Amino acid sequence: MGDQPVQVYDTTLRDGMQQEGMSVSVDEKARIALKLDELGLHFIEGGFPASNPKEAAFFARMERERLEHAALVAFGMTRRKGAVAADDGNLRVLAEVFTPTVAIVGKTWGLHLTKVLHVSRDENLRMIADSVAFLVAEGKRVVYDAEHFFDAWRDDAAYALSCIRAAAEAGAGVICLCDTNGAALPSFVDAVVREVVAEVEALVGVHIHNDSDCAVAASLVAVEAGARHVQGTMNGYGERCGNANLVSILPALQLKMGHRVVSAAQLQRLTETANFVADLANVALGAHAPYVGRSAFAHKGGLHVAAVEQTPQTFEHVDPAAVGNEQRVLISELSGKGAILRKAQEIGLQLSGDDARVTSVLKSLKEREHRGYHYEAADASFDLLLRDTMAPHEPLFRLESFRVIVEKREDGRAVCEATIKIHVGGERIVSTAEGNGPVNALDTALRQAIVRTHPHLADIELTNYKVRILDEAKGTGAVTRVLLDASDGERSWGSIGVSENVVEASWEALVDSIEYGMLRGAEGDA
Ligand SMILES: [Zn+2]
């Protein structure tokens, strides 16, 4: 078993979509599938081809697409009780779908047989065997998902084993042990997988939910115990507490456990892919997400930065470049000249430690932090501040004025309208836009004004907006700090604005965010 490669099976488009509030269009599903294919995953589960028109449309669309690496998988379940597999409508759909690989889920746990399905244990075994055998006879490669396997094992290990034996003997290519309720701890998964691998002649996989916050750990332990097929979702999406997060499983298998799952170049697309899926799912990717989050390789504090500068392994568990992420040095009062020099180098400015401009940046940094600026989560604003001190550049535009009107109407609706007057490349532009809030209206008006000269703007999306009232600044009353996150689908960045007025603070953060995004775009095009 040791020399057998590990298969990674993504179920973002099926199980991941069970997450509360998650909804993507057919087109978005197709784009996610193509992106996951580029990452080099082996299987992409697309859903049940006939459960609703949207799923059917997705499979019809995917029939025209070409996947380079992954096998698209159609998902369904074992035949109904008392029926003949060949006459079962759902199984017929799977037999006729264009994908050579199909997955079916079946019951294992006595509790579900008596309380939910009202099926005898023997009939359940026949349902499993008949369904797998039918699909195999139809020429399909079958992944068999043994639902509630770990709970079933605790309840009656012999019966749980007979269920998966039935599937294996009927010709299933993969026997996937599911922890559907996410109850199992890694030590239990380890023990069960070892016994199953020893007892059953089939490729064994796991599908683990995260209710105990152990899904990644349990999946990795399962591979150590001999499983060679791991199911999960991008960013751990899934109902309740989510599924096993492939974004963490993939680099662990490859970089720490020595399995060659995808190529090194494919693994470098991990951060980009995680962000891409998060953007389409419209769920902000957590800054602290392991491997791919913006803070995953962020370092704070003078000594710490000096050490990681010289020897990255002192404070980094893997090379950030291996997963397409990057090291970041957080800028705060704690950081000294070293961090400033390092940042300057990142943006292509060669400076020596005794350069007077370094001291001047440090000074203005401290002065701004005193006023309520906080650059740790606002890398874009800091980047711009540094560039401006080191080598003053022409701003993207010059603001003449902006105005925002908030109108509450009789019907209960509140509408915002923003008008901005700016000068871009010698031209005066007046732009007006409506929005669901003042920031949205300002953002739309500003983009409208400059998108013609900077088409890359169209790719930038504001992903998060946080407002905090600070009482740190004394004498002037409360000050508002706005943190804005933006993304261009590949990377995300943060900007900051501070003012006594929330609209003014938002505008400052907005301008930094867009200006930084355009710099990125300009560098990307080069
Ligand atoms: Zn599941």
Q: How high is the pLDDT of residue 526?
A: 35
Q: Is the pLDDT of residue 335 over 70?
A: no
Mean pLDDT across 514-522: 80
- Rounded to the nearest whole angstrom, what is the distance from the C-alpha of residue 53 to the centroid of ligand 1? 22
Q: How high is the pLDDT of residue 1?
A: 45
pLDDT band of residue 523 (cuts 50, 70, 90) is low
- Rounded to the nearest whole angstrom, what is the distance from the C-alpha of residue 168 to the centroid of ligand 1? 20
Cβ proximity of 392 and 386 under 8 Å: no
305-318 burial by CB neighbour count: b if 16+ within 10 A, else e? bbebbeebeeeeeb
Instruction: Record the tokens describing residue 319, joined without a space.
Output: 């090379």
At 281 the three-state DSSP class reads helix
pLDDT band of residue 251 (cuts 50, 70, 90) is very high
pLDDT tens track for 87-115:
999 999 999 999 999 999 999 998 888 88
User: What is the pTM for the complete model shown?
Assistant: 0.76
Distance of alpha carbon 440 from the chain centroid: 25
Q: How high is the pLDDT of residue 338?
A: 75
Residue reference for tokens 């559907």: 180
Q: Is the pLDDT of residue 522 over 70?
A: no
pLDDT band of residue 194 (cuts 50, 70, 90) is very high
Q: Which of 10-19, 198-207, 215-224, 328-337 has the lowest mean pLDDT?
A: 328-337
pLDDT tens track for 282-308:
787 888 999 999 899 988 766 677 777
- Rounded to the nearest whole angstrom, what is the distance from the C-alpha of residue 463 to the centroid of ligand 1? 28
At 68 the three-state DSSP class reads coil
35 closest CA partner among 360, 276, 292: 276
- Rounded to the nearest whole angstrom, what is the distance from the C-alpha of residue 326 to the centroid of ligand 1? 32
- Rounded to the nearest whole angstrom, what is the distance from the C-alpha of residue 355 to the centroid of ligand 1? 58
Give the C-alpha separation, 498 to 367, whole Å: 13
Strands in 33-171 per DSSP E: 43-47, 71-77, 101-106, 141-146
- Rounded to the nearest whole angstrom, what is the distance from the C-alpha of residue 11 to the centroid of ligand 1? 8
Mean pLDDT across 335-354: 77
Q: Is the pLDDT of residue 2 over 70?
A: no
Q: Which of 5-19, 343-357, 376-390 has the lowest mean pLDDT?
A: 343-357
30 closest CA partner among 70, 53, 61: 61
- Rounded to the nearest whole angstrom, what is the distance from the C-alpha of residue 201 to the centroid of ligand 1? 24
- Rounded to the nearest whole angstrom, what is the distance from the C-alpha of residue 345 to the centroid of ligand 1? 46
Q: Which of 151-160, 214-223, 329-338, 418-427 has the lowest mean pLDDT?
A: 329-338
The contacts of residue 448 (CB under 8 Å, 6+ apart) are 431, 433
Q: How many CB atoms lie within 10 A of CB 436?
A: 12
Q: β-strands 101-106, 71-77: how paired?
A: parallel
Q: How high is the pLDDT of residue 302?
A: 64
pLDDT band of residue 490 (cuts 50, 70, 90) is confident
Instruction: Record the tokens describing residue 62, joined without a space.
Output: 């995917």
Q: Is the pLDDT of residue 85 over 80?
A: yes
Cβ proximity of 86 and 136 under 8 Å: no
Q: How high is the pLDDT of residue 389?
A: 81
Mean pLDDT across 60-68: 94
Q: How high is the pLDDT of residue 340?
A: 80
- Rounded to the nearest whole angstrom, what is the distance from the C-alpha of residue 233 to the centroid of ligand 1? 10
Full DSSP string of 95-124: HHSS-SEEEEEE---HHHIIIII---HHHH
Select the more confidently predicted residue: 60 or 368: 60
Q: Is the pLDDT of residue 472 over 60?
A: no
pLDDT band of residue 474 (cuts 50, 70, 90) is low
Full DSSP string of 215-262: HHHHHHHHHHTT--EEEEBGGG--STT-B-BHHHHHHIIIIIS----S
- Rounded to the nearest whole angstrom, what is the distance from the C-alpha of residue 149 to the centroid of ligand 1? 12
Q: How high is the pLDDT of residue 525?
A: 41
Q: Residue 333 gets which letter from DSSP?
A: T
- Rounded to the nearest whole angstrom, what is the distance from the C-alpha of residue 120 to the centroid of ligand 1? 24
At 46 the three-state DSSP class reads strand
Give the C-alpha separation, 165 to 125, whole Å: 9
Q: Is the pLDDT of residue 457 over 50?
A: yes
Cβ proximity of 426 and 412 under 8 Å: no
**Summary mean pLDDT of the chain:** 90
